[in-house]
Structure 1
């Protein structure tokens, strides 16, 4: 077999698997656009369709095909992931807020100390 053909085939397969990996990692929270660039629509599945995923409502790409390269995410999962993302962001913001408060208190203490030192320096200058 031709080694160049094998190399091209291997690179093509690697690109495909890399794209699939990037695509699956990007499906977190509520997306606005699919990786193909199309807008996502809020879709409700018919009552007779029973899907193994929870919920009957989906965020779906306009060009959705079941080829693994377009979004079709259950509404329940997307909202749950979005809430988790927002919760972690809120926790980090609360940590930053507490740090800011501590730094403001420390800054005020340092200002009073500097004022005392300036007063002491001016006393020493006049004394000499």
Structure 2
């Protein structure tokens, strides 16, 4: 095989696997658009499919093909992941809120100390 052709072949495979990795990592929570840029549809599985509950809901890419490059994510999984993401964000917000309260208390204490120091300096200036 020609070295240039082999290099092109390897680059194409690497790009393909990078895209697969990107698709897999991006399938968290409720997505607005597929990786290909198409919008996602809310669909239900037909009643005659018996390998899972009839009427199971999915977020599916408009251009979905079973090639692993487009989304078809079960609705339940997406909602669970979205709730987990929101829970993590809420915990971080609560941590920030507690830090803000601590900083406000510390700021109030420092302001009181500065006022005391200003009063002391004015007393020393008046005495001198």
Cα distance in structure 2, aligned partners of 1:115 and 1:51: 74
CA RMSD of aligned residues (A): 1.4
Count of aligned pairs between the two proteins: 127
Cα distance in structure 2, aligned partners of 1:124 and 1:52: 84
TM-score (norm 2): 0.95
**Unmatched segments (≥5 aa) in structure 1:** none
Look up the match of 1:124: 124
Q: Give the stretch that moved more between structures: 4-13 or 118-127.
A: 4-13
TM-score (norm 1): 0.95
Cα distance in structure 2, aligned partners of 1:12 and 1:98: 50
Cα distance in structure 2, aligned partners of 1:45 and 1:120: 78
Cα distance, 1:49 vs structure 2 = 1.1
Look up the match of 1:70: 70
Look up the match of 2:95: 95
Look up the match of 2:34: 34
Look up the match of 1:56: 56
| SS of equivalent to 1:33 | coil
Cα distance, 1:50 vs structure 2 = 3.2
| SS of equivalent to 1:84 | helix
Look up the match of 1:4: 4
Instruction: Find runs of 4+ consecutive structure 1 residues off by over 6 angstroms.
Output: none
**Unmatched segments (≥5 aa) in structure 2:** none
Distance 1:77 1:125, change over 3 A: same
